[in-house]
Copies of this chain bind each other. A is one copy, B any other.
Amino acid sequence: MIIPTSSASSVKRALVLGGAGFLGTHLVRALLASGVQVRSFERRKRDSAPDVASSLDVPLRVTPDDPRLEIVTGNFSTGEGIAKALEGVDLVYHLVSTTVPSTSNADPVADVEGNLLGALRLLNAMRAADVGRIVYVSSGGTVYGNPSTLPVPENHPLEPLCSYGVVKVAVENYLGMYAHLYGLTANVLRVSNPYGTHQHRIGVQGVIPTFFKKIAERTPIEIWGDGSVVRDYLHVKDVVSALLLAGARDRSGTFNIGSGVGHSINEVLEIVQRQTGLAADVRYLPQRKFDVERIYLDISHARAELGWEPLLGLEVGCAEYERALRLSGRAESSGGAR
């Protein structure tokens, strides 16, 4: 993993909203490894202390009770615990979402209440606490809708087909407005389809972990459509390096964060079969209308402005994921694929 040597150099304590989630787990570790104090904001009390050292590739001299890591609990949607969590913080990572693309359309009102109003309350609390810097994880896969050009650049029209994407766009717009009006430094990362360990919502988000798990368990793999849908898959290590670079930035900006390359679901399945040496039992289901057909991101802006570069292609990234999975020796829970 790239940990930029100057990363977050001016940041002493970062608040990670969603620190127990998929990206959050990896980000918290990387921040600690880069010498930043971390306050992780989580929804539930953990049963045990976080295992910050597990499956880490970077040297990390922290123990689970390291004073540099503080766990706080609260409710992002209602704002409960946010004001206290912001005390003494100079950077906020906002990684929380109460919905995923495939479920968000079932109740857009709840999506707006949980995610958009939550983000607005956070921004108001940041103003009150004089916390001036935020990195927001938006969605490269949903904000554009069905792109008219590929790879899709950041200035492509935003025409989301799911509530998840509509809310992401609205949060982005409020961040831009608060940056303009109140001097907030807001960096938006439109992350494509990230994959890696700790992706717990198997079957809801994350084709790659789902495929690896189901093929190992010899359970059927369900695919919406004929498998020709194209996505931009990005290994979590590459997401984390972008998050660190964005956190160290003194200006506001919006960046596509993807591999820059498109792969069909069927291609992903081939890779997983090849790497595991197992044949998948695939069931193709009718295509869903809110699924974007083909998307991959133009990442030239992040390359030029953030100095970021994704290092793990799909083949290498899948192998790396499979290795980390074996090392951690963990099984993950079951479901269907998207």
Interface residues in chain A, defined as those with a beta carbon under 8 Å from any beta carbon in chain B? 105, 108-109, 112-113, 116-117, 120-121, 124, 145, 155, 157-163, 165-167, 169-170, 173-174, 176-177, 180-181, 289-290
Contact = CB atoms under 8 A, between A and B. Distances in A.
Interface centre among A121, A174, A289, A290 (most CB of B within 10 A): A174
Contacts of A173: 158-160, 165-166, 169-170
Contacts of A124: 108-109
Given A145-B176, A158-B173, 20 more contacts: A105-B177, A109-B117, A112-B112, A113-B117, A116-B116, A158-B158, A160-B173, A161-B177, A161-B181, A162-B177, A163-B174, A166-B173, A166-B174, A166-B177, A167-B170, A169-B169, A169-B170, A170-B170, A170-B173, A177-B290
Contact of A177 (B112, B160, B176): B160
A93 to B, nearest CB: 22
Given A120-B112, A155-B157, A290 B181 contact: yes
Contacts of A157: 155, 157
Contact of A109 (B121, B159, B162): B121
A101 to B, nearest CB: 12
A137 to B, nearest CB: 19
Contacts of A169: 169-170, 173
Given A112-B116, A117-B112, A170 B166 contact: yes
A176 B169 CA distance: 13
Contacts of A121: 109
Nearest to A174: B166
A23 to B, nearest CB: 24
Contacts of A113: 117
Contacts of A165: 173
Given A105-B181, A112-B112, A170-B170, A176 B155 contact: no
A260 B336 CA distance: 52
A174 B181 CA distance: 26
Contacts of A155: 157
Contacts of A176: 145, 159-160
Contacts of A120: 108-109, 112
A181 B116 contact: no
9 contacts: A112-B117, A155-B157, A158-B173, A160-B177, A166-B174, A170-B170, A170-B173, A180-B289, A181-B289
A116 B158 CA distance: 18
A289 B176 CA distance: 13
7 closest residue pairs by CB, A with B: A170-B170, A166-B173, A109-B120, A108-B120, A181-B289, A161-B180, A161-B177
A160 B160 CA distance: 17
Contacts of A161: 177, 180-181
Nearest to A170: B170
A177 to B, nearest CB: 6
Contacts of A160: 173, 176-177
A214 to B, nearest CB: 28
Contacts of A174: 108, 163, 166
